[in-house]
Amino acid sequence: MPAHSLAISDDVVVALPPTPHRGLQDWIDEVAARAQPDRVVWCDGTDAEWDLLSEQMIETGTLVRLNPRLRRNSFYARSSASDVARVESRTFICSEHEADAGPTNNWVDPKDMRRQFAELFEGCMRGRTMYVVPFCMGPMGSKQSVIGVEITDSPYVVLSMRIMTRIGTPVLEILGGDGFFVRCVHSVGMPLALGEADVAWPCNDEKWIAHFPETREIWSYGSGYGGNALLGKKCLALRIASVMARDEGWLAEHMLIIKITNPEGRSHFIAAAFPSACGKTNLAMIQPTLPGWQVETVGDDIAWMRFGTDGRLYAVNPEAGFFGVAPGTGPATNRNAIQTLTENCIFTNTALTAEGDVWWEGLTDQPPSGLTDWTGVAWDSGSGKPAAHPNARFTVPAAQCPSIASEWDAPQGVPISALLFGGRRATAVPLAIEAFDWDHGVYLAANMASEGTAAAEGEVGKLRRDPFAMLPFCGYNLSDYLAHWCRIGAAAENDSRILPKIFLVNWFRKDTNGRFLWPGYEENARVLRWVIERVESGGEAIETAIGRLPTPDAIGMSDLNLLPGVAEALLSVDNEVWIDEARRNRAYLNDFGDRVPALDHQQDLLEQRLHLA
């Protein structure tokens, strides 16, 4: 590890901290005294550290080095079958008052939760190394960035955080002697015995992920999965950052960011929110089929947005890497992602090939022979079981993406012209809807529903409300979150700020036989073109009770060879279906009481328009 001076204290080997930050030092000492690791190591983020940690993990069997001729400097990890996704049922918002967490979050009194973690962490790192990972969310040195420090006993987390964030000594230099940082503590816990698989990571059956909004702290125990253990990602960048955004007047959102340039050379930036495994990464790296149009990637998952001095809303991508779902990603669906995954990657719970490469469903039309599945056993194509776990993941530096925009890590961020929201809806929701105004757009996003996916606990395919794709990630009362969006709009209108247009999209409409009506993937660029045309005050639209819809010509459907009636189904509003939809919307909004009057007003307006229709 990095050659810092060593000291012996209470039989623990501790690397002397390379920082004058007294508060940081005292906190590290406090956690180490309770967790009792054999060593404490401060991570510097260097290539030498990466090489040493990866070699150590290969020796212990928790990593496999992939064939360097096929994927240079890349590795494979396999998890326990009990540790393959976010555990929403074990994720808590420990605000001082239960009402501040709201009905959609799990709440435990922070005093009780601190006692729980004190017991869990008592000696939990014995026999292991405690790593101190200083990290920066957002471009280094940007006023929009936030510094965190994660304590972890998982070298897998250290390597993944190096990809997903900016880590190490440069972060400590920015932090200085008294800078603010978010405190993040993680342990895999007392490991379970490994199963029959020859490669697995440690975890524990008891899992807790807790957020303390008032003190800006995150504690995680028992899981090694990225969404539960990489505490800079969903935990800081959304749950804690959303509270900071509420308090400071900005937005921390579960959104991709893309740059779109039309054939005339005019560029716009769009942010878009979709629930996990609903195509965010594919849209973030889309290669348009439209001649002369170009889409570049700024970020694939999270956007922090603040108003700039020119009155426009600017977004930064706080992450430095992509943590994407592998199954379904292939040359036909996301060529840019495939070209990104050639080196410096960590793959988790995919299948392994006989040649020492990774494979998953959707990577090729036919699986190669001799596969080892994600559980570590020889895969039988006749078993009916997938070779890769449905939530198998890749972690890769964003800078490697061939479609990465030059502005992707601009300290000031990029100006947002439009906001898109969408989920998996087999019925009711048209291909695209433009909101009448900001509050109507908030209403559409607030009532967004999506079919469940393998990225989280719960029944796959079951429809659930997921406002703004933030249901699992909002760090405070969801009704206050919706009210915050309405306040942002009201404040902008009062001081002449320029608000982005808001759209709802749905790539997943199906016919009565369960077949997708829209080809999706690269053809989604046709909808993006219409969005940009609407931003520039062009593009044909028809006003309906639920919003402005594009015409088939505005989308350019004539050359798609769609079956008869498909265009009409994609771009029409069934009044009776939407009367029922509105009825469910009202029941859902009633759960928020009178905390969001602007949305109640939008509900009344929708019902009036449907009645007139």
156 is in an annotated binding site: no
Cα three-residue angle 404-182-121, rounded to 5 degrees: 115
Cα–Cα distance measured from residue 351 to residue 357, given in angstroms and rounded to the nearest whole number: 9
Q: How far apart are CA 278 and CA 98, in angstroms?
A: 31
Any known ligand binding at 575? no
226 labelled ligand-binding: yes
Q: Is 277 annotated as a binding residue?
A: yes
Is 443 assigned to a binding site?
A: no
- φ and ψ of 384, to 5 deg: 80, 0
Rounded-to-integer distance, Cα 149 and Cα 165, Å: 11
Is 227 annotated as contributing to ligand binding? yes
**Is the separation of the CB atoms in 113 and 94 below 8 Å?**
yes
| Helices and strands in the chain, H and E counts | 17, 30
593 known member of a binding site: no
Instruction: Say whether 86 counts as a known binding-site residue.
Output: yes
> H/E/C letters for each residue in 163-202?
HHCEECHHHHHHHCCCCCCEEEEEECCCCCCCCCCCCCCC
Annotated ligand binding at 392? The verdict is yes
Any binding-site annotation on 30?
A: no
Determine whether the annotation assigns residue 76 to a binding site: no
- Residue 276 assigned ligand-binding role: yes
User: CA 271, CA 259: separation in Å to the nearest integer?
Assistant: 9
Query: Which is catalytic among the residues 235, 278, 345, 486?
Result: 278
Contacts 24+ apart (CB under 8 A), 99-104: 99/477, 100/213, 100/476, 100/477, 100/480, 101/476, 101/477, 102/474, 102/476, 102/477, 102/478, 102/479, 102/480, 103/477, 103/478, 103/591, 104/471, 104/474, 104/478
Query: For the purposes of burial, counting CB atoms within 10 Å of the CB of 526, is it exposed (0-12), middle (13-18) or buried (19 or more)?
Result: buried
Q: Is 106 among the annotated ligand-binding positions? A: no
Query: Is 262 among the annotated ligand-binding positions?
Result: no
H or E, element range at 117: helix 110-120
Q: Binding residue per annotation — 279?
A: yes
Q: Is 94 a catalytic residue?
A: no
CA distances, 475 to each of 95, 165, 247, 267, 481 (Å)? 9, 21, 12, 33, 9
Going from the C-alpha of 195 to that of each of 78, 174, 333, 375, 387, the distances in angstroms are 11, 43, 35, 10, 18
C-alpha angle 306/309/314, rounded to 5°?
30
HSE, side-chain direction, 13 A CA sphere, residue 129: 18
User: Is 195 labelled as part of a ligand binding site?
Assistant: no
Q: Is 136 annotated as a binding residue?
A: no
Angle at 242 between CA 404 and CA 591, to 5 degrees: 120
Q: Please indicate if the annotation marks 526 as binding a ligand.
A: no
126 annotated as belonging to a binding site for a ligand:
no
DSSP 8-state code for residue 368: P
| Residue 225 counted as an annotated binding residue | yes
Residues making up the annotated binding site for Mn(2+) are 234, 254, 301
Residues making up the annotated binding site for GTP are 277-282, 393, 424, 521-524
Residues making up the annotated binding site are 86, 225-227, 234, 254, 276-282, 301, 391-393, 424, 521-524
Residues tagged active-site: 278
